[in-house]
Structure 1
Amino acid sequence: MNDTPRRGPIARFFVGLWDAMNFTRRLVLNLLFFAVLLLFLAILGAGPRTKPLQDRTTLVIEPEGALVEQYSSDPLTRALGKALGERGGEVQLRDLVRALDAARRDKRVERVVLRLDKLQAGGMASLREVADAIARVRASGKQVVAFSEMMDQKQYLLAAQANEVFLDPMGGMLLEGLGRYRTFYREGLQDKLGVDVHLFKVGEYKSAAEPYVLDAASPEAKEADLYWMNDVWQRYLADVAKARKLDAAKLAQSIDDMPAGIAAANGDLAKFALQGRMVDGLKTREQVDDLLVQRGVADEDSDGGFRQASLDEYLAVLDSGLQAVDPRPQVAVVVAEGEISGGEQPPGNIGGESTSQLLREARDDENVKAVVLRVDSPGGEVFASEQIRREIVELKKAGKPVAVSMGDLAASGGYWISMDADRIYADASTITGSIGIFGLIPTIPRALEKIGVRSDGVGTTRFAGAFDITRPLQPEVGQVIQSVIDKGYRDFTGRVATARRKPVEQVDEVARGRVWTGAQAKERGLVDELGGLQQAVAFAATKAKLGKQGDYQIRYIEKAATPFERFFTGLVASRMGAATLQHSDIARSLLAKASPQAAADLRFLEGAIAPTRGVPVKALAYCFCGF
C-alpha cells in the first residue's frame, strides 16, 4: 500500500488559507442569499396589514400576559414570539387604556367584551386606571360584557365595571383579601450554612432586608404593612361595591362568612358568586358568543360567529393613522419601571445612566415642552437614583415643567427620583414612601470552616482587607458602614425636605422606612394630588401653557429600535413572513437566543452586595412592598 505523501509546512499554510477563503466566500454568499430571501418575503407580505374596522363591531379585549408600564423585551423578540404563536408575554397599561378610551368615542365600536382570565394583573393602582377606563366606556352608553371561566380578585375588579358579568357554570371566583407573606431564611443562612448577614439601616420600619437577619417579620413591619394594606383593601371593596351596586360592609361580611356560604351552595363556586350578586349569570363561552351574535352582527368567519376586532387589531387601526409628522408641541412621557441599578439597563429596569439619558433627550429636544415621569419602582441603588433626580432638576432649570405620575409602586428609590417634580400624582392605592436607607454585607468565614477552608494573611493597616467577606466583620468596620448609611438617610430626608418645602424633622416623622398608600401619602404631604397619568399630563401641559387637550401631543421617549429591528418586525408582522416563521426551526432558535433576559437572571440583592469602588457598602433605597 502506497503512503500518502505529507505536505510541508508551507504547502499546509496555503492549503489552509485557500480553505479559509472558500469558507468565507460561502458564508458571505449565504448571508446575501438570506438577506435577499427576507426582502422577497417582505415584498410578498407587503400590502395592507390592517383590515378596516366595520360598523357595529364588537371590540374583544382578551389580554394575555403581565400588565406592565413598558415592554421588557425588544420589538424584534415580541414580533417573533407573536409570529411563532407563543403564548403569554406582556400587555402595556397605556395600550389598554387608549384602546378603551378610543372605543368610547368610536362610532364603529358597538360594544366591548372583556375576557380577562389570562391577564396577569399587576398592582391596584394600574388596575384602577383600567377600571376607570372601562367605567368611562359604560358611562358613554356603550354596553360592556365580561365573561370568565376562572377569575381572581384582581381580574374581577375590571370585570365588575361591566354592565353584565357572566361566569362559566363550572368556573369560580372568590374574593379573599390582601396578604403579604415573605420567606425568612436567617436560620438556614446563619445556623445551617454559617453565613452571617450584617444589616445596617436607618428607620425601624425599613424592613426590606429582614428576611436575611430574622426568622419572622418584626412587629414594626407587620404594623406598617397592615396599615397600608387595609387602606388598599377597603378601597377595593368600595370600588367593587359601587360598580356592582352592593353594600361594601355586606361584601366584606360575605368574605368572612365564605365557608358557610360555599357550603350552602353545595361547594359550587359559580353558584356562590351568583348568589352573592358578584355575577349576573352562569353561561358557557359558547352561550355568551350566541348572545353576542344576537345583539351584534353575525359573521361566520369570525371566532364566535359575530363581527369583532381583537385588542391588537384595534390598536393597529388606531396606529395606522399616526404616520404623518405631527407639528404640535409635545408632552414627553418617560417610563421608569423596575428596580433601580447603576449604568445602562434594559427596558423593564431603571438604569442610572440609561434613564438619565432619556430625560436628557427630552431636555435637549426643542419640540418637548414638558415632561411626565411615570414611576413604577421599588427603588434600588442610591447613587443611580440620585443620577436620575439630578436630571429632573436640570429639566426644571431648562424651563420644562416636570410632573410625576406614580403607578403601582413608587417607594424608597422610586420616591427619591420623584420628589423634585413640580407636582406628584399618585393613585389612592399606589404604594409609596419607604424613605429609608440600608446596606447589607454577608460574611462567610464560618461557612468556609464547615468545609475546612480558612482565610489568613497580612495587611499594611488594620483596615486593609476589612471588607473581605471571607473574614469576620470587625466592630470598627461596622461603625464605618453605619456612618455611611446614616449619611445616606440624612441626604434622603434632607432632599425630601427641600423638594417638599418642609422641615427635616417633619419629614423624618413620616419617613423612617415606613410605607404609605397614595391617599395616606397625600395626607402627609408626600404626594400633591390623587390622579393617574392623564391628570399628570394635563398638569404638565397647563404649566407649559400648551393650551387645551388636542393642542399638544403625548410622546413616549424610549430606546429606539435599530433599523434591522424595524425591518424584521415589519417582516414577521406580514402574513407571508408570519406563515414562514411558524414553520421554521431556525427562527425558533433565533427567538430563544434573542430574548434580552440576561439581567433577569441575577437577583437584585446579589448585585447589591457586589463591591463598589471607593465605598465600603452600596447604600440601598429599596422596598420589598409589592403584593
Structure 2
Amino acid sequence: MKRFLIGALAFIGAMSVLFVVGLVALVVLASSSRPSVPSNLVLELDLSQPLAENVSADSLAGAFGEDPLTVRDVVDALEKAGEDSRVKSLVVRVGTSPGSPATTQEVRDAVKAFRAKGKKAIAYTDSFGEEGNATGAYYFASAFDEIYMQPSGSVNVIGLAFETPFARDALAKLGVKPRFDKRYEFKNAVNSYTEQGYTPEHLLATERFAGSLYGQMVRGIAEGRGLKEEEVRALIDRAPLLAPEAVDGKLLNGLLYRDEVYAAQKAAAGEGAELLYVKKYLDRVGRPNTTGDTIALVHGVGTISRGRSDSSPFGEQALGGDSVAAALRKAAQDSQVKAIIFRVDSPGGSYVASDTVRREVQRAREAGKPVIATMGTYAASGGYYFAMDADKIVAQPGTLTGSIGVYTGKFVTNGFWEKLGVNFDTVAFGKNATLASTDADYTPEQQARVDAELDRIYTDFTTRAASARKMPVEKLQGLAKGRVWTGEDALENGLVDALGGYPKALELAREAAKLPADAKVRVEEYPRKKSPAEVLSSMLGETGDNSDDDASATTSLSTPWAPLVEATRVVHEVGVRMGVFAPERGSLHAPMPQTRW
C-alpha cells in the first residue's frame, strides 16, 4: 500500500510538471508566431469598455488571451498607423468613452494626430446612451471625421454631473462618530463622512472643477463638429436628442447600421481591403520609438501604499512605494537611459510611500537623468507629491491634480457596539497607546499629537511644492489647502508646465536630454514586462534575488485566492468611501467623486 501511494504521488507530481512545461511551451509558441499585416487595411477599435491605464509587469492575462487594451496601446498604434501606407482609415465602435475625461482627451488627441497624417477616422455607435449619460462618449466621437449612429439610437449628450455621497447622519444613526482632521478647508476627501452636504469650500472647488471640464467638452465638440459653442450648449440643454434631431443639429453625419458603415469604409479603402483590430495591428507591427537613445518609461498607477506593489497575475494592481522607487532607481542607474518619463495616475495615499517615490525622482535628477512627469486621470495629493519634483509636468486639461493637503482620523464606534450589546475593555501601557483605537475619542494629549503630525506633513508638502514649482510659499499655499484643480487650471496656476499626454512628454524628454526634436529614441518600460512564462515561474516559487535595486522582483503576486481578495478589496473601497473603514493615518488622498458624463 505504501509503495502504491508513493507511486501515485510520483505520477501526480510528474503529470503536474508536464502540465506546467506544456503550458509554458504553448505560451512561448503562441508569442513567437506573428501573422503578417494585410497590404490594404482598415483599423478597427471596439470601445465597449473603458481602456486600462496600464497592465502590470506581472500580469498573466496574455497567457490566456490578449492583455487588456491600454491607453498607451491605442496612442502607439495610431502613431504607427499614421505613417503606415497600408492603413487607409480607422473605424471605432463607440460603446463608451475611453475612460475618464483625461483618458478621453489623450485618445482624442491620438485620433486627431492620426487624421493630421491624411488618414480618415470614422466613429460608429448603435446609440449614444440609451437611458444613461453618453456625453463623454460623444465628446470622444467628435474628434472623428464622421459620426454615424443606428437609426433606432438616441444622442444623450445631457451634460456633466458630479455626485458625492454624504453619510454623516447615517453614521450617527449607527452610533459611529467620524473623527477626522485635515489641512485645510478644501481637503474634501473626508467630507463624505463628516458632512451631510457640500461645505462652501467643497462646493466652490467642485463647481470650478466641473465647470472647467464642461467648458473643455463644449469647446471640443464645437471644434470637431464645426459648430459655435452656444449652439453646442443649446443642443446639450435639449438632449436627449432623437436621431433625426441629432442629424439636424449636425451632431451626426447620418443614420447607418454597422454593416453599412463597415462596408462603406472597406469600399473606400479599395479592392481587397481587410479589417484589423488595433491591438492585433500593434502586436504585429510593434510599437513606435524602438530604436535610438533610450528614454525610460516608469508607471506610478493606483492608490499609494508602503512596501511593494500588489498585483494579481491578471492585471489588478496597487501602487507600492518600494516598487515604483526601485523602477526609478533602475532607470536612473542605466547608463543607456537619457531621460525618464514618469507616468502618474494616482489619487494619492500614504504620505511616507509618496515621499519614498519622490526621493527617487529627486535622486534621478541629481544623477543627471531628467524626469518628465505625465499625468493621467489624476495625479492628486500623494500623486502630485511625487510628481512635483520632476523637471517638467504634463497634464491633460481634464486631469484631476493638486489636492495639496493631508487628512487623518478614525471612526469612533463604541456607540455602535453598545447598540449591539458589545463592550470593549482595554488594558494599555503608554499614554497614547489607544491613539488609533476606534473604541474611544482622542484625549486632549492625543489630539495635540494628531495636530502636530498634520501640521508637519502639510508644511513639508507645501514647502517642497513651492520649491519644486519655483514660487513663493505664500502663493503656493493659496493654491493648496487640499484643493483639486483640472489640468487646465493647474497650468494657469503654475502647478503643471504643459498640456498633453505621452507624445508631449516624449517631446519634453528629448528636449531635456538635449536630443534633436526629431531624434529617434527607444522607449523602454521599467520594470520590463515579464513574459507569461516568467510570470508562471514566479507563481511556482521563483521570486528573484530580493535585491532592493531589483525592480523586476518588487511586485508581489497574489495567490490562487486572487478573485476573493479582489472582491474583498472592492467591498473595502466602498466601505472607505461610506465611512465603514478608516483610511490610513497621514493620508495624502483625493478620491474622485462619481462623475456622470
Query: What is the TM-score when the length of structure 1 is the normalising length?
Result: 0.83
In the other structure, the counterpart of 2:10 is 25
Deviation of 1:469 after TM superposition, in Å, equals 1.5
In the other structure, the counterpart of 2:149 is 167
Deviation of 1:46 after TM superposition, in Å, equals 6.0
Tell me if 1:116 matches 2:99: no
Contact 1:428-1:518 within 8 A present in 2 as well: yes
Inter-CA distance 349–41: structure 2 relative to 1 (3 Å threshold): closer
Inter-CA distance 290–29: structure 2 relative to 1 (3 Å threshold): same
Root-mean-square deviation over aligned CA pairs: 3.0
Deviation of 1:400 after TM superposition, in Å, equals 0.7
Contact 2:184-2:482 within 8 A present in 1 as well: yes
Q: How many residues align?
A: 562
In the other structure, the counterpart of 1:95 is 73
CA deviations over 1:233-291 (Å, ceiling 9, x no partner): 111111111111011111102222337xx5xxxxxx22222121111000111222332
In the other structure, the counterpart of 1:71 is 55
- Of residues 105, 112, 116, the one that matches 1:128 is 105
Inter-CA distance 595–443: structure 2 relative to 1 (3 Å threshold): closer
- Of residues 231, 256, 268, the one that matches 1:295 is 268
Deviation of 1:387 after TM superposition, in Å, equals 0.5
In the other structure, the counterpart of 2:547 is none
Inter-CA distance 512–594: structure 2 relative to 1 (3 Å threshold): closer
Write the distance in 1 (CA, Å) between the matches of 2:259 and 2:235.
Answer: 31
CA deviations over 1:424-482 (Å, ceiling 9, x no partner): 12222222111110002111111111122222344455434343212343233223212
Write the distance in 1 (CA, Å) between the matches of 2:121 and 2:101.
Answer: 21
In the other structure, the counterpart of 2:314 is none
Tell me if 1:157 matches 2:139: yes
Inter-CA distance 531–288: structure 2 relative to 1 (3 Å threshold): closer
Tell me if 1:505 matches 2:469: no
In the other structure, the counterpart of 2:298 is 334
Contact 2:27-2:533 within 8 A present in 1 as well: no
Inter-CA distance 439–591: structure 2 relative to 1 (3 Å threshold): closer
Contact 1:332-1:554 within 8 A present in 2 as well: yes
Contact 2:58-2:529 within 8 A present in 1 as well: no
Stretches of structure 1 that go unaligned for 5 or more consecutive residues are 1-14, 83-88, 263-268, 300-305, 569-589
Inter-CA distance 609–622: structure 2 relative to 1 (3 Å threshold): farther
Write the distance in 1 (CA, Å) between the matches of 2:582 and 2:175.
Answer: 21
- Of residues 173, 176, 181, the one that matches 2:158 is 176
Tell me if 1:228 matches 2:212: no
Contact 2:143-2:224 within 8 A present in 1 as well: yes
- Of residues 528, 532, 535, the one that matches 2:497 is 528
Write the distance in 1 (CA, Å) between the matches of 2:238 and 2:400.
Answer: 29
- Of residues 350, 360, 379, the one that matches 2:329 is 360
CA deviations over 1:85-112 (Å, ceiling 9, x no partner): xxxx842111111111111111011111
- Of residues 370, 374, 394, the one that matches 1:405 is 374
Deviation of 1:412 after TM superposition, in Å, equals 0.9
Write the distance in 1 (CA, Å) between the matches of 2:336 and 2:179.
Answer: 50
CA deviations over 1:377-435 (Å, ceiling 9, x no partner): 11111111100000001001111111111122111111101111111122222221111
Contact 1:609-1:618 within 8 A present in 2 as well: no
In the other structure, the counterpart of 1:303 is none
- Of residues 442, 448, 453, the one that matches 1:479 is 448
Write the distance in 2 (CA, Å) between the matches of 1:32 and 1:531.
Answer: 49
Write the distance in 2 (CA, Å) between the matches of 1:308 and 1:461.
Answer: 70
- Bigger Cα displacement from structure 2, 462-471 vs 281-290: 462-471
Write the distance in 2 (CA, Å) between the matches of 1:534 and 1:40.
Answer: 37
Stretches of structure 2 that go unaligned for 5 or more consecutive residues are 129-133, 312-316, 538-558
Task: Output aligned runs, 1:543-554, within 5 Å.
Answer: 543-554=512-523
In the other structure, the counterpart of 1:80 is 64
In the other structure, the counterpart of 1:137 is 114
Write the distance in 2 (CA, Å) between the matches of 1:414 and 1:134.
Answer: 28
In the other structure, the counterpart of 2:590 is 623
Contact 1:440-1:609 within 8 A present in 2 as well: no
Write the distance in 1 (CA, Å) between the matches of 2:580 and 2:368.
Answer: 39
Give the partner amino acid of 1:392.
V
- Bigger Cα displacement from structure 2, 139-148 vs 242-251: 139-148
Q: Which has the larger radius of gyration?
A: 1
Contact 1:395-1:402 within 8 A present in 2 as well: yes
Contact 1:202-1:485 within 8 A present in 2 as well: yes
SS at match of 1:91: coil
SS at match of 2:494: coil
Write the distance in 2 (CA, Å) between the matches of 1:115 and 1:189.
Answer: 44
Contact 1:377-1:414 within 8 A present in 2 as well: yes
Inter-CA distance 290–186: structure 2 relative to 1 (3 Å threshold): same
Inter-CA distance 106–317: structure 2 relative to 1 (3 Å threshold): same
